[in-house]
Amino acid sequence: MKNLENKKILLIICGGIAAYKSLETIRILKKNGCKIKTILTKNAKEFVTPLSVTSLSQGKVYDELFNAENENEMDHISLSRWADLVLVQPATANTIAKLANGSSEDLASTVILASNKPIFLAPAMNVRMWEHPSIKENLKILKSYSYKIIGPEIGEMACGEYGEGKMTEPEDIIKILNDYLFNLNNNKKYRALVTAGPTHEYIDPVRFITNKSSGKQGYEIAKSFLRNGFQTTLISGPTNLKIDEEINLIKVETAEEMFKETQKNLPVDVAVFSAAVSDFKVTEKKNIKIKKKEEFTLKFEKKC
């Protein structure tokens, strides 16, 4: 699995019986040339020991949110930034609930919420827990936040019951990570162009007509392209939105400016034109501000 070579994987091990399989996950990742850092939750220590994890990962195990030694070496922010991706295995019902509700009561949940990297969750729990409406609702929320869910599978569980909820096997999880990285690398050769937001068509130096648009749709589309490895350019009308630094952001105001910048950045492999471009502009823009008491008539021409 050459796409895993030299990749930095942050493995977060949570407190479920499937935690023992994390040792096999570490072994396979190391075999494929990955650099690994691990976080053990308090409950995970009931199933695997820090010593066994350290022995296989050949690195320190992080476990406490407030620890002077850890903070001096790598705080929760820099730990989340270090990784190329984050794998949570097993993702318990408790962990899923905390993440869906934005809770950050320990190092694991704090790192996940602070991360700007792809996060994979491999759930594992009893079949009745997996089928509970609250779990389904929490997973729906997490998917909307761009968390990637691996499994679970149907099979026999440690409790003796049979059904969906068994954690996906380490070999299959790692194959999914490898395929994800392959697609990410493969997509780097593709260019994406997105337009977003409104345009302003000026009447005089301070007044303009516009279409009501927040630009959110286009910005989210651009972020999605970036997450999937595309070289992404975003041409945006006036908004108050922020965008990832890796995206080539071109700010414009008028429809004419947006048209010219779009032409400059073509051709691309894929383009999404989601901007709310003004349909009309004034026939004659005034060079000075129109006085408040002055009566005037505006004439518009249709944009092509």
Q: Which residues are catalytic?
A: 159
Q: 3: how many CB neighbours lie within 10 A of its CB?
A: 16
Beta strands in 150-207, from DSSP E residues, in sequence order: 153-156, 162-166, 191-196, 200-202
- Map residue 181 onto helix, strand or coil: helix
Task: Give the count of alpha carbons within 13 A of 240, CB side only.
Answer: 0
Cβ 210 vs Cβ 202: under 8 Å: no
**By the 8 A CB rule, do 33 and 9 touch?**
no
Q: What is the distance between the alpha carbons of residues 249 and 17, in angstroms, rounded to a whole number?
A: 46
Q: Are 127 and 28 in contact (CB under 8 A)?
A: no
Nearest to 122 by CA among 39, 49, 22: 22
Beta-carbon contacts of 49 under 8 Å, excluding residues fewer than 6 positions away, are none
Residue 39 and residue 104 in contact, taking contact as beta carbons nearer than 8 Å: no
Q: How many CB atoms lie within 10 A of CB 205?
A: 12
Angle at alpha carbon of residue 286, lines to 280 and 288, rounded to 5°: 140
d(CA 5, CA 33): 5
Beta bridge partners of 210: 200
Neighbouring C-beta atoms of residue 165, cutoff 10 Å: 25
